[in-house]
Amino acid sequence: MADKKNKNVFSSIGKFFAEFAEAIVHGDIFVKLSLVWMGAGYAKRKQYIKALLMTVLEIAVIAFTVSFAMKYVPKFGTLGTVKMEKVFNVSTMKSEINDYDNSFKILLFSLFSFVVWFAFAVVWIKNVVNAYRLQKLSEAGKHIATFREDLHS
């Protein structure tokens, strides 16, 4: 029973990546452009709200990476190198603590960053596959659902 479940899981993962590879190989320029700009495939097929949402998501993940994740992920391997030190300052007559690396924060925020990046990678791959699906619908002359129709379905 467990072997069948494992086989189904690996089969699903294989299918997921096979669809992605097919989209890259057979997709038009807008599908390929979706690898860089996530909204390109949607914008070409006049799904402007989805194009905007994908673009905003991509910008948000880039901003998250630059402004937050890069403070912690580079230190993940060592969990920080600066130890906490307490030094007494004679002029203020108080103990001061240096700007040390908090290993728990580094671990927590690095793992959170990895989860965000993994989820984004899945959405990014599905975006390319959906852009290719829309291309095939367009080429076949079939109706491409609007954003409102997608919400209702």
Q: How confident is the model at residue 6 (pLDDT cuts 50, 70, 90)?
A: low
CA distance 83 to 44: 53
pLDDT of residue 113: 97
φ, ψ of residue 63 to 5 degrees: the values are: -65, -40
Q: Is the pTM of this model over 0.85?
A: no
In angstroms, the CA 19 to CA 128 distance is 9
**Structural tokens at position 74:** 């580079």
Please give the angle made by the CA atoms of 31, 39 and 44, to the nearest 5 degrees: 60
- Total number of residues shown for the chain: 153
HSE value, Cβ hemisphere, 13 Å, CA-based, for 24:
11
Task: Give the chain's mean pLDDT.
Answer: 87
49-78 pLDDT per residue, tens: 999 999 999 999 999 999 999 999 998 888
Per-residue DSSP letter, 85: -
Provide the pLDDT for residue 3.
Answer: 65
